Structure 1
């Protein structure tokens, strides 16, 4: 019997919808609040549940759309190994189609980890759609691969495990998906202490679904392949993000230790500000109040 989702308990008063975004793909999303639209994107190996602590406050000022990325949670998990299936370009199109279906052609975006890589591509490919952008605990994908060293490779071991040819990593994850979630998340600086048990159960439920392990792996395989090609094309053409961009990262995390996030984002965006926060990787769950303090003024500014 399938394990029931705790999403209703994590997002009281929100609606849960499934939207056909084309190509046989459905995106599951939680929607609620009032005001200008905001898209919230999660990372690996998590689901939309990462936003449960900040969503109530954000919903006081914004209409929130909180989806599971393709390959994750309750969204579709397409089979196959063709690189474009899980490219960030394709995953970004999912989100543009989702927002358009809900009546939103232009919106703010806040995204963490893998979701931030989707958001980067969304903002690059669909600049008219994104008003303001917040990216959490990432440097640009191309910069991270080009600057990979021993410390980063040891800490982000899953980057290099997940890109191994199918079906080896899929089989290993499927052997014990709950343990995989605990290992990936529990090895970070804060351990498992920051996570609501209901949210942790939701992450484990998501990875245990049929096709989820393949979706996770294909997401990373795309980032080590077709996504880098797209990023190189942007760099070679001199394309830059033009909307206001706020980057925040955990001062106890690997991105802070191994890269210079603000400097790297300034190489690909024209209007960037940012700084580290007193936490590790999972900012929305480790430091939700601090995150809200930083992003509320940013999203409240008037822009053209």
Structure 2
């Protein structure tokens, strides 16, 4: 499989937590901004936004552990793909690049990693941006009745190790293609080669992708519940941008995130789930506005 890269960015392999090496693209100069991808994608989803932001910032774009060209360790225990471990990867990588403080923006799965990093390492995160996902605790609580069918894959990958991996492997191309089709109904976000790249990269990562999702139905949920009970919140400026799923499924995304982040702003977008590729200018401006808000507070 040929990997797709971001033009004008330099690539490095950098050790994160537990010696797991991440594939990391770096470009631009200035304060650091880290962009974390979602499912079923890789760091390449940020290609347009990253180049826009690189005009002002040092932009760091890794493949998460288990995805793309990063290491894919076997899940030895529940911690291997916990969002705490994945967040520690990011903290370690960015410090290796010479930054003690940075802005952190995540899409989908990457946003869950970003939130856990923000809860665990508030001293390192200058601001936190969230694209099109709900808090872990609230995701499970709002998925009720027939509406839960939109998140059927969450339930599949939450099952004990073995069966989900085999089921997905049996129809892997169709499985990953189904999300690209459902979340890009117009079919014009990706070129055919880009779409094939995402599918093939995901097929090569099936075991680790399932482990990532399984953690979100287990240890990640436990960690978030413990923090909620202790009243732990995100202390940095936080902003979220999402599709308006709430009107369809009966929840208020802004209110759910505000319970975790007192310094919070929210905006809805008319773009689809793959908003960083569908409207990169809007997402770059979203990140810039959040960075300026954080600067104004210091």
TM over 0.5: yes
Matched, 1:229 2:222: yes
Q: Mapping of 1:187-206 within 5 angstroms?
A: 187-188=182-183, 190-206=185-201
Structure 1 distance, partners of 2:40, 2:198, is 7
2:40 aligns to what SS in structure 1? coil
Q: Mapping of 1:286-301 within 5 angstroms?
A: 286-301=278-293
- Aligned length in residues: 295
- For structure 2, the 5+ residue unaligned runs are none
Matched, 1:238 2:236: no
**C-alpha offsets along residues 67-126 of structure 1, whole Å, 9 cap, x if unaligned?**
111111111111135111111011100000110111111000111000000000000000
Q: Are 1:17 and 1:28, in contact at CA under 8 Å, matched by a contact in 2?
A: yes
Matched, 1:136 2:131: yes
**C-alpha offsets along residues 111-154 of structure 1, whole Å, 9 cap, x if unaligned?**
10000000000000000010011100111110111222134421
Q: Are 2:165 and 2:206, in contact at CA under 8 Å, matched by a contact in 1?
A: yes
How far apart are 1:166 and its partner, in Å? 2.2
Cα pair distance change 1:256/1:101, threshold 3 Å: farther
1:241 aligns to what SS in structure 2? coil
Structure 1 distance, partners of 2:280, 2:51, is 11
Show the counterpart of 2:265.
273
How far apart are 1:189 and its partner, in Å? 5.5
Matched, 1:89 2:84: yes
1:127 aligns to what SS in structure 2? coil
How far apart are 1:180 and its partner, in Å? 2.2
Structure 1 distance, partners of 2:282, 2:247, is 17
How far apart are 1:34 and its partner, in Å? 1.0
How far apart are 1:30 and its partner, in Å? 0.8
Cα pair distance change 1:186/1:166, threshold 3 Å: same
Structure 2 distance, partners of 1:143, 1:77, is 28
Cα pair distance change 1:256/1:216, threshold 3 Å: farther
Structure 2 distance, partners of 1:68, 1:33, is 18
1:231 aligns to what SS in structure 2? helix
Structure 2 distance, partners of 1:90, 1:75, is 14
Cα pair distance change 1:77/1:35, threshold 3 Å: same
Q: Are 2:118 and 2:125, in contact at CA under 8 Å, matched by a contact in 1?
A: yes
How far apart are 1:296 and its partner, in Å? 2.1
1:27 aligns to what SS in structure 2? strand
Match of 2:203 among 204, 208, 215: 208
Match of 2:29 among 10, 34, 39: 34
Match of 2:122 among 127, 149, 164: 127
1:52 aligns to what SS in structure 2? helix
How far apart are 1:297 and its partner, in Å? 2.3
Show the counterpart of 1:6.
4
Q: Are 1:250 and 1:283, in contact at CA under 8 Å, matched by a contact in 2?
A: no
Cα pair distance change 1:222/1:256, threshold 3 Å: farther
